[in-house]
Amino acid sequence: MLLVFLAACKSNKRVVSSTHKKPVVTTINKSSDVNTSKDVYLLPEDSGKFIDFPINSVQEYIDTFSEIAQFEMKAYGIPASITLAQGILESGYGRSALVKKTNNHFGIKCHTGWEGEYDFHDDDEKGECFRKYNHPMYSFRDHSIFLTSRARYAFLFDLRNDDYRGWAHGLKEAGYATDKKYPSKLISYIEQYQLHKYDKIVQDQGYAVTKVPKEYEYKTHIVEKGDTLYSISRTYFVSVDELMKMNNMNSSNLAVGQKLIVKSVKK
C-alpha cells in the first residue's frame, strides 16, 4: 500500500478556513478505485518523489511530476506537456500558497457537486473556494477528470495529442482561465523546457490516445431569481452560446420560472 506523505506547510498568506466536509480519499493503493467510472485508471504507486520537500526551480518541478503527467496522458488523452505547463503556471512550480495548503496544482475551484475537502483562498475574488487534496497525485488525477467530464472541453479531444498549441488556445477558449496571455504562457513553458518530448515518449510507447467517449444527458433548469445565462453556463459547464442555441434564444434575457434545456456529461 502506498504511503501518503503529507506535511503541514505554513504560508504567509492567510487562508480563511482549512478542512471541511469529508475527505476525498485517505490513501492510494492498487486495489482501490480512484473514481466510480467503469473505465478506471488506477494511479501508480508513489515512487517517493512526492515526499514534501522544497521545489526550487521549474526543472525540479518537471523532474518531480513528468512521470504522473505521462501516466495521465496514457489514461485520459491530455498531452503531458499541457498538464505540466498548466501545473507550472497555476502552482508557481509547486511553490504557491494554495499548493502548500491544498496540494491543488491546477487552481481548480470547488464548483457544483464537489464533495471533498476544500479551502478558501483569494483569487479573482476574495475568499474563493478551492478543492483540497491529501496527495499531489490526486490533483493531477482530478485535473484529468475535470477536463474529460465537462462538455465545454470536449472539442479539445478532437485535437491531436501532440498539438500542444491547439490545446493551449483551446483551454483559453473553453474558459479555463481569464488571462488573455494564458495560451502564450503555456506554450512558452512547453518550448523553453521542451515539455513536448514527454508527449512523444507516450506516443512512442504505442499509446494511440483518441477522443474520450462521452454520453450526454439533457435536463431542465428552472430559472430562479438572480440567475444569468453566464451563471447557468458555469453550473452546467457549457458555454453561453451553446445554451442559447439549445434553447433557440435570440436574447440573453431570462424570466423567473423560465425552463431551459441544459446538457451535462453522464457519469
pLDDT tens-digit map of 66-93: 999 999 998 889 999 999 999 999 999 9
Domain boundaries of the chain, sorted by first residue: 1-213, 216-265
pTM of the model: 0.65
What pLDDT, on the 0 to 100 scale, is given for residue 94? 92
> Which CATH number is 1-213's, of 3.40.50.720, 1.25.60.10, 1.20.1250.20, 1.10.530.10?
1.10.530.10
Dist CA 243 CA 262 (whole Å): 7
Dist CA 211 CA 194 (whole Å): 24
pLDDT tens-digit map of 23-56: 333 233 332 233 433 345 667 666 666 655 578 8
In the chain, count H helices and then E strands.
9, 4
Q: Is 172 helix (H, G, I), strand (E, B) or coil?
A: helix
Strands 259-265 vs 118-121: parallel, antiparallel or unpaired: unpaired
Is it true that 1-213 and 216-265 share their CATH fold?
Answer: no
Residue 221: name the closest of 177, 178, 263, 266 by CA: 263
Q: What is the pLDDT along the chain (267 residues), one digit of tens a residue?
A: 343 333 333 333 333 333 444 333 323 333 223 343 334 566 766 666 665 557 889 999 999 999 999 999 988 899 999 999 999 999 999 999 999 889 999 999 887 777 788 888 776 667 789 999 988 889 999 999 889 888 888 889 888 888 999 999 999 999 898 899 999 999 999 999 999 999 999 988 877 554 554 556 778 899 999 888 878 876 776 677 778 888 888 888 999 999 998 876 555
Burial 165-184 (b: 16+ CB within 10 A, else e): bbbbbbbbebebbeeeebbe
What pLDDT, on the 0 to 100 scale, is given for residue 215? 59
Grid cell of 9 as nine digits = 506547510
Domain at 216-265: CATH code: 3.10.350.10
What pLDDT, on the 0 to 100 scale, is given for residue 235? 73
